Amino acid sequence: MSLAHMLLLTVAWPLAMAALVAGTLAWRHGRALIEQRSSGRYVVPPGIAGDWPYRWRVALWASAPLPALGVALALPEASLTLDWWLLGGEWRLDGTRRALLGFTALLWALAGGYAHGYLGGKARRARHGDPDAERDLQAFVLLWPLTLAGNLMLIVAEDIASFYTGFAIMTFAAYGLVVNAGSREAYRGGRAYLIMAILGEGMILAGLLWAAASAETLTLTGLREGLAVAPQANAMAALLWLGFGVKAGVIGLHVWLPLAHPVAPTPASAVLSGAMIKAGLLGWWQTLPLGLTALTGLGRVMMIAGLIAAFGAALYGVTQRHPKAVLAYSSVSQMGMMTTLVGLALIAPSLWPMLAPALVLFAVHHGLNKGALFLGVGITEHPPRLPGWLLWLLLALPALSLAGGLASGLMAKWVLKAGLYDAGWSWLVTLLTWAALGTSLLMARTLWCQAHAWREARRHGAAPAPLSMTLAWALCALLAAAVPWWLTLPEAPAGAVQATDLPPWGELPGLLWPVMLGAVVTAALVVACHLEPRLHTRISRAERLPPGDLWPLYVHLASSLSGPLRRGVARLSNAQETAQDLAAGCGRHAMAWLMALQRWEAWLRRWAVPLMVGLVGVLWLALAG
Amino acid sequence: MNDNPGLLLVTLAASLLVAPLIFLLPERAWLARTTLNLGAALLKLGLVTLMVAGLARGDSYAFGFTVVEGVSFQLRADPLGIMFAGLSSLLWLFTTLYAIGYLEGSPNRKRFFGFFSLCVASTLGIALAGNLFTFMLFYELLTLSTYPLVVHRGTPKALAAGATYLRYTVSGGVLLLIAVVALHVLAGEVNFGQREVLADLGPEHHAWLIGIFVLLMLGLGVKAALVPLHGWLPQAMVAPAPVSALLHAVAVVKAGAFGIVRVVYDVYGIALSYELGLLTGLAIAASFTILYGSLRALAQVDIKRRLAFSTVSQVSYIMLGISLFGPMGTIAGLAHLLHQGLMKVTLFFCAGNYAEELGIHRIDELDGVGRRMPGTSLAFTLGALGMIGIPPLVGFLSKWYLGMGAIQAGMSWVIAVLVASSLLNAAYFLPILYRLWFKPGPLEGVGTWPEERRLGRLETSAWLLWPALATAAFSLLAGVFAGLPFSPLSWASLIATQEYLP
> Inter-chain contact A83–B483, Cβ cutoff 8 Å?
yes
Sorted by where each begins, the domain ranges of chain B are: 340-502
Q: What is the pLDDT of residues A492-521, one digit of tens each?
A: 887 777 877 888 888 888 888 888 898 898
In chain B, what percentage of residues exceed pLDDT 70?
99
DSSP B291-303: HHHHHHHHT--BH
**Bridge partners of residue A92, in order along the sequence:** A79
Q: Taking the CB of residue A34, how many other CB atoms lie within 10 A of it?
A: 12
Give residue A187's pLDDT band: very low, low, confident or very high (50, 70, 90).
very high
Q: Is residue A489 over pLDDT 60? A: yes
> Inter-chain contact B391–A161, Cβ cutoff 8 Å?
yes
Q: Is residue A49 over pLDDT 70? A: no
| Ranges assigned E (strand) in B115-246 | none
- For residue B407, which residues of chain A lie inside 8 Å, CB to CB? 209-210, 213-214
- pLDDT score at B501: 57
* B313 to chain A, closest Cα gap in Å: 14
Strands A78-82 and A89-93: antiparallel
* B123 to chain A, closest Cα gap in Å: 27
Q: What is the pLDDT of residues A116-167, one digit of tens each?
A: 989 888 888 888 878 888 888 889 999 999 999 999 999 999 999 999 999 9
Specify the pTM. Answer: 0.93
3-state secondary structure B301-369: CEHHHHHHHHHHHHHHHHHHHHHCCCHHHHHHHHHHHHHHHHHHHHHHHHHHHHHHHHCCCEHHHCCCH
CA distance A58 to A512: 43
Cβ–Cβ contact A591 with B under 8 A: no
> Inter-chain contact A210–B412, Cβ cutoff 8 Å?
yes
Strands B61-68 and B71-77: antiparallel
How confident is the prediction for chain B on average, in pLDDT?
Answer: 91
* A48 to chain B, closest Cα gap in Å: 14
Q: Is residue B1 over pLDDT 60? A: no
Angstrom CA distances, A607 to A593, A596, A600, A610, A613, stand at 21, 17, 10, 6, 10
Biggest CA pair distance of chain B: 74
Nearest to A85 among B228, B231, B483 (CB): B483
* A301 to chain B, closest Cα gap in Å: 23
CA distance B11 to B62: 12
Cβ–Cβ contact A60 with B under 8 A: no
- pLDDT score at A37: 64
Q: Is residue A245 over pLDDT 90? A: yes
Question: Is the confidence metric ipTM above 0.85 for this complex?
Answer: yes
Q: Are B438 and A175 in contact (CB under 8 A)?
A: no
Q: What is the pLDDT of residues A389-405, one digit of tens each?
A: 999 999 999 999 999 87
Give residue B145's pLDDT band: very low, low, confident or very high (50, 70, 90).
very high
CA distance A382 to A384: 6
Nearest to B423 among A29, A34, A202 (CB): A202
* Short-list A197, A331, A314, CA closest to A262: A331
Q: What is the pLDDT of residues B306-363, one digit of tens each?
A: 999 999 999 999 999 999 988 899 999 999 999 999 999 999 999 999 999 999 999 9
CA distance A402 to A481: 9
Q: Are B93 and B47 in contact (CB under 8 A)?
A: no
Cβ–Cβ contact A561 with B under 8 A: no
Nearest to A26 among B374, B392, B444 (CB): B374
Give residue A219's pLDDT band: very low, low, confident or very high (50, 70, 90).
very high
> Inter-chain contact A187–B296, Cβ cutoff 8 Å?
no
CA distance A452 to A326: 14
Cβ–Cβ contact B309 with A under 8 A: no
Q: Taking the CB of residue B303, how many other CB atoms lie within 10 A of it?
A: 24
Mean local confidence (pLDDT), B94-118: 91
What kind and span of H or E run contains A204?
Answer: helix A184-215
- For residue B408, which residues of chain A lie inside 8 Å, CB to CB? 213
Q: Are B455 and B357 in contact (CB under 8 A)?
A: yes
Give residue A52's pLDDT band: very low, low, confident or very high (50, 70, 90).
low
CA distance B397 to A165: 11
